[in-house]
Amino acid sequence: MKNYLDCINDYKKEDLKEAASIIKNGGLVLFPTETVYGIGADGLNEKAVKNIFLAKARAQDNPLILHVSDIEMIKKLVKNINSIENKLIKEFFPGPLTIIFEKKNIVPNIITGGLNTVAIRMPSNKIAHDLIELSSTPIAAPSANISGKPSGTNIDDIFDELNGKVDYIINGGNTKIGVESTVVRVIDNNIHILRPGKITYDDLKRIANVIVDEHVLNDVKESQKVLSPGMKYKHYAPNTKCILIYSDDKNKLIDKINEYYNDNTLVIATNKIANMYKNKICLGNTLEDISHNIFKALRQADKENKELIIIEGVKPTGLGLAIMNRLIRACSHNYIEI
């Protein structure tokens, strides 16, 4: 296929020149990062960024993350970097952390949904890094999926959904982490987690006091103000109805799953639990396995056309907080804890 680059096994930086020139000319490029795939465009080109919103059918007030390749790029985009933000950058960039800063005028309003802040991340994935460097512009890149659907963690899962909506596709295989970056904002010397991810509460605690935003695990009521517009929207949801069940007592968990399980349902769970059922998708054993496999599993489950998907929850600590944040939303808060 034209406008497609296979980087799964290996690639040379110069192979990415074509994709970079598409970015520079205002096109859209589907590319891998270490978290999930992104739909990228030149973050300083308003028209190109508008096309991202159209391709994803994303709400205009849900701002995008700008992806950079070095510190110099950050300095061009943000007004001021305080000492905690500096420590976060030193400790976690490049990597799966996004920091919200006060923006400079150079950042178009369409990126920030009209806010005076901008979200910045420096991916560690080599393809993403090389693409940004070759494009010599910050790349705006939301997760590669139609808004509301599970994020894309490999090209096969999202090809039908996004083919024809982007100008170029870079295939980098399965993404390493599988859930989106941790999004934080520093307010009054506290690090607020607005979206949990691979960089955990305990990782951030080494830098400063950490506050987990109340909406990370809870629904947003209509009248409530949020620190991150993305919290208001439906996310990660398959078409099939889902229920999330969590208990730290395995017997209670199995009893509850059995209440819902029948020929028309399917279980997504860690291997030991999933293997007790005929209709199942196994997530592996560790939190890393679950994070790596969860979006693929949700998409796969949808294809089985069952009446209900039953999902095993995890303890919401460490990487488990990121997993539960995604699962509670995938289930539209249809969640039982026993």
Site of interaction with ligand AMP (CB under 6 A): 62-65, 100, 112, 115, 117-119, 142-143, 180, 183, 194-195, 228-230
Q: Which two tokens stand for residue 247?
A: 């208990």
> Shortest gap between Cβ of 265 and ligand AMP (angstroms)?
29
CA distance 206 to 198: 15
Which region, judged by CB under 5 A, interacts with Mg ion, from 120-128, 142-150, 244-252, 264-272?
Answer: 142-150
**Residue 143 or residue 200: which is nearer to Mg ion going by CB?**
143
Do residues 233 and 148 touch, judged by C-beta distance below 8 A? Answer: yes
**Residue 143 or residue 228: which is nearer to Mg ion going by CB?**
143
By CB atoms closer than 10 A (0-12, 13-18, 19+), residue 92 is buried
Q: Strand order in 265-269's β-sheet?
A: 280-282, 265-269, 308-312, 242-246, 335-337
- Binding at 115: pick from ligand AMP, Mg ion, none (beta carbon under 5-8 Å per type): ligand AMP
- Binding at 65: pick from ligand AMP, Mg ion, none (beta carbon under 5-8 Å per type): ligand AMP
**Residue 81 or residue 194: which is nearer to ligand AMP going by CB?**
194
Do residues 175 and 35 touch, judged by C-beta distance below 8 A? Answer: yes
**Residue 118 or residue 155: which is nearer to ligand AMP going by CB?**
118
**Residue 98 or residue 143: which is nearer to Mg ion going by CB?**
143
> Shortest gap between Cβ of 142 and Mg ion (angstroms)?
5
Any contact of residue 143 with Mg ion (CB under 5 A)? yes
Q: Which two tokens stand for residue 38?
A: 């992104």
Q: Taken in order 331, 332, 334, 337, is the CA torsion positive or negative?
A: positive
Amino acid at 4: Y
Residue nearest to ligand AMP (CB): 230
> Which positions lie near Mg ion, rule CB under 5 A?
143
